């Protein structure tokens, strides 16, 4: 197969996708706007060829790059980046070169939260009341209907950046005055815990790997309050969450892709569908998949592309926790003390790219253990303030 990987160097922990593709015998064609020598050595060795453009936002340059690859290697079989930021560019390229996968006609349902909400309802799932309010009058009518607090977020957006929690009239006026000039969806505030249904679907839309994350707090709160966060991967996925998640897989037609779906767990035990992301969960989560299951999800994705199936079945012998720390917060324990105290639990640790720091911290630790309490106590100790 000829596989084009956009931005193979970013996120920084995604380079094994290219390595596993090459190990499986595929042509791995890298396309990005950084110099070749800036790629890590393992990535350079995995690439059959690398094409540098001056700017990944210039679609005509991406077109020329795909034309060059097609001329040199033949038809392009797959194209991906595993990065939501490039989802629309990928879709246009797939359309123009007739490549399997999401196309421009799919973008509204996988990018617009307002359209996601409609599809959730069609699948029989509960949602928060919400509306794209394009005028102060529409906004006031919606607030009068549902009451405070409400949450306003870009209808198309990644992560929790530029998201507002509005609790009174003064904050509502401040939001109207300061919100960016793009469509915002305003939703009733749902008091519940965020949890996810994540996984990998094969070419027929069957889930061949799944997992779930639970969070110490919402990502929106971590960004808006500039506080730290930890989250953990469970060993047993609740059956109602798995059922709801698989309904979403079918409703959105997920094929041969990782996915990351977010839900609220309400105090009454019910689930509310929040949003879909057609990519792996962010940060070091795919590494957490691997450490929690003693498997290689980078390789299993390649197995799905190559053979239409995975080789390993997840057994979840460990809970796995991500613990983030921010540079501006003074913690009780230094990094060296963290390693000395919790070393047997720590599977991996590394600096986090600045673009993700507001949400998950400047430095991250992955911990694993069969008992959740052990990990939660360690996470809280690592984040204990001075």
Taking only the tens of pLDDT, the chain with its 386 residues reads 999 999 999 999 999 999 999 999 999 999 999 999 999 999 999 999 999 999 999 999 999 999 999 999 999 999 999 999 999 999 999 999 999 999 999 999 999 999 999 999 999 999 999 999 999 999 999 999 999 999 999 999 755 458 899 999 999 999 999 998 899 999 999 999 999 999 999 999 999 999 999 998 777 777 778 889 999 999 999 999 999 999 999 999 999 999 999 999 999 999 999 999 999 999 999 999 999 999 999 999 999 999 999 999 999 999 999 999 999 999 999 999 999 999 999 999 999 988 898 889 999 999 999 999 999 999 999 999 99
Q: CA 147, CA 168: separation in Å to the nearest integer?
A: 9
Whole-structure pTM value: 0.94
pLDDT of res. 225 = 81
- Structure-token pair, residue 265: 């767990």
CATH 3.30.1490.20 domain span(s) along the chain:
129-188
Of the chain, the end-to-end C-alpha distance in Å amounts to 53
CB 214 within 8 A of CB 175: no
**Superfamily designation of domain 129-188:** ATP-grasp fold, A domain (3.30.1490.20)
CATH class (in words) of the domain with range 2-104 = alpha beta
- Separation CA 75–CA 252 (nearest Å): 27
Nearest by Cα to 156 from 112, 105, 106, 117: 112
The CATH-assigned architecture of domain 192-382 is: 2-Layer Sandwich (3.30)
CA distance 276 to 178: 27
- Which of 44, 20, 40, 16 lies closest to 30 in space, CA to CA? 44
Please, which residues bridge with residue 197 across strands? 261
> What are the residue ranges of CATH 3.30.470.20 in the chain?
192-382
Helix, strand, or coil (residue 63): helix
Concatenated DSSP letters for 291-316?
HHHTS-HHHHHHHHHHHSS-S-----
Strand order across the 130-132 sheet: 130-132, 184-188, 150-154, 164-166
Distance from C-alpha of 204 to C-alpha of 185, rounded to nearest angstrom: 32
């Amino acid at each position: 197969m000829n596989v084009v990987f956009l931005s193979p160097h970013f996120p920084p922990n995604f380079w094994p996708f290219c390595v596993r593709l090459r190990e499986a015998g595929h042509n791995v064609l890298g396309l990005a706007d950084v110099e070749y020598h800036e790629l890590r050595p393992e990535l350079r060795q995995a690439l059959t060829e690398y094409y540098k453009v001056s700017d990944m936002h210039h679609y005509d340059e991406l077109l020329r790059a795909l034309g060059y690859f097609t001329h040199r290697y033949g038809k392009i079989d797959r194209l991906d980046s595993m990065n939501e930021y490039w989802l629309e560019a990928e879709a246009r390229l797939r359309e123009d070169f007739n490549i399997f996968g999401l196309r421009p006609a799919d973008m509204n349902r996988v990018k617009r939260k307002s359209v996601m909400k409609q599809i959730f309802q069609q699948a029989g799932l509960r949602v928060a009341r919400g509306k794209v309010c394009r005028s102060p009058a529409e906004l006031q009518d919606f607030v009068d209907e549902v009451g405070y607090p409400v949450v306003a977020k870009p209808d198309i957006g990644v992560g929790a950046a530029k998201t507002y929690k509005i609790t009174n009239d003064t904050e509502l006026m401040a939001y109207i005055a300061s919100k960016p000039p793009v469509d915002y969806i305003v939703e009733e505030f749902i008091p519940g815990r965020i949890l996810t249904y994540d996984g990998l679907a094969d070419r027929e839309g069957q889930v061949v790997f799944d997992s779930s994350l639970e969070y110490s707090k919402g990502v929106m709160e971590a960004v808006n309050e500039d506080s730290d966060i930890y989250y953990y991967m469970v060993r047993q996925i609740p059956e109602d969450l798995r059922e709801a998640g698989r309904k979403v897989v079918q409703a959105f037609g997920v094929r041969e892709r990782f996915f990351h779906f977010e839900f609220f767990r309400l105090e009454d035990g019910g689930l509310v569908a929040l949003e879909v992301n057609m990519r792996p969960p962010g940060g070091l989560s795919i590494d957490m998949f691997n450490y929690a299951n003693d498997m290689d999800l980078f390789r299993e994705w390649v197995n799905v592309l190559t053979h239409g199936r995975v080789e390993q079945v997840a057994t979840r012998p460990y809970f796995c926790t991500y613990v983030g720390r921010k540079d501006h917060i003074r913690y009780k324990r230094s990094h060296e003390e963290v390693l000395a105290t919790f070393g047997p639990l720590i599977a991996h640790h590394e600096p986090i790219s600045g673009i993700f720091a507001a949400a998950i911290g400047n430095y991250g630790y992955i911990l694993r253990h069969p008992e959740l309490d052990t990990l939660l106590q360690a996470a809280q100790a690592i984040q204990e303030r001075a």
